[in-house]
Amino acid sequence: MKPVDSKRIEDLIRRLTDRNRHGWAARIYGSWMARSRDSESDEAPPTARQWHRCGRLQHRAGNVDAAIDAFRKSVLLTMHAGGQPAFLLHAALRQLADSLDIAGEKKSATQTRTLLERFAATERVDEDPMKTLPPADVITSAVSRCTFIMSIEWEASTNIAQCLVEQDGMVVFRERLRLEGNDDTWFEFEIQAPAGPDPSYPHVAVGITLPWQFSTPQAKQAALEIVNDMNLDNAAISACLKPDTGQIAIRGRIAFAGFHQGTGSLSDFATAQDEVTINLIAEIISTASAWQARAAGLCGRLGDSQAPGAAASQA
């Protein structure tokens, strides 16, 4: 297919998954992958990333055998292609093992996890003191640890790694969460980092959007007062009023610079990146938790409403 067709497919799949139409998304993406693979034209065959995404879609749709096949193809392509980021191989192996467990293939699942541990051990031994670490590698571990530490309730995610997607050169985790003490409101959370193994601007960006909308001039003025107070109260984050939706967003970014030379080992450097990312995530979520009551109260007084889909679904 032409590149424009690929983009259209990606956009369609994104819209379907946003609406929890995982069955349709898996069927359409799987059919597109099959046509691309069987094409007799000069078009490039499916990549490791595309097979990885196909596996995630099939897994969410409950098509375990199809997911296993896709994850295996992703692993093989990643292992035999140079320049692939470590997180892609690790995620594919981890999700392949999980899918094999679900299919009852316990021995194969154990062997797959052993292979994952072997790759991880090899990377730890082969340390270059002038090597930088891909910032995207911290997303899964940092979000997972914050989920445990802060008792975060995600709307749909059961496996953080399975929800990672690549968009416009960035690895992105995007999901809705509920904050402690708020049982009926979902907040939009996102963390992203460059996808390449050696990006020109290595960084991690984190953001959370409060669901209440402020659309009238009076409401916007009052919301901007909250935004200003938030910025004055905490210099570690940046709050703003989104002009398109009238919602308050809280954001932060960390840039990773330099090499791990002098830190002891590459694993120590990775741990440091993990820790600062965890601190940023915790700071942003804690800020949202601290200001949610004031934002909700203002929204109630001035007659605005929550963004569509922000309210928790009723059983």
pLDDT tens readout for residues 89-119 = 778 888 888 889 898 998 888 888 888 887 7
Give the Cα-Cα-Cα angle 34, 38, 44 (nearest 5 degrees).
95
Domains, the chain, ordered by start: 3-125 (1.25.40.10), 135-302 (3.30.1460.70)
CA dihedral 269, 198, 166, 160 (to 10 degrees): -10
Question: What DSSP string describes 27-88?
Answer: HHHHHHHHHHHH--SSPPPPPHHHHHHHHHHHHHTT-HHHHHHHHHHHHHHHHHSTT--HHH
The stretch 146-156 carries a mean pLDDT of 83
Between 279 and 84, the more confident residue is: 279
- Tens digit of each residue's pLDDT (9 = 90 or more) over 10-48: 778 878 877 778 888 888 888 887 776 655 555 567 788
Residue count (the chain): 315
- Tens digit of each residue's pLDDT (9 = 90 or more) over 40-70: 555 567 788 888 888 888 888 888 998 899 8
**130 vs 67, 127, 198, 203, 222, CA distance in Å?**
38, 9, 12, 18, 50
The pLDDT-based confidence of 309 (bands split at 50, 70, 90) is very low
Between 125 and 112, the more confident residue is: 112
pLDDT, position 4: 39
Q: Is residue 314 pLDDT above 50, yes or no?
A: no
The model carries a pTM of: 0.58
Q: What is the mean pLDDT of the chain?
A: 80
pLDDT, position 124: 53
Question: What percentage of the chain reaches a pLDDT higher than 70?
Answer: 78
- Tens digit of each residue's pLDDT (9 = 90 or more) over 230-275: 999 888 899 999 998 899 999 999 988 755 444 445 566 777 788 8
Question: What percentage of the chain reaches a pLDDT higher than 90?
Answer: 24
- The β-bridge relationship of strands 203-213 and 170-178 is unpaired
Q: Is residue 315 pLDDT above 50, yes or no?
A: no
pLDDT, position 268: 65
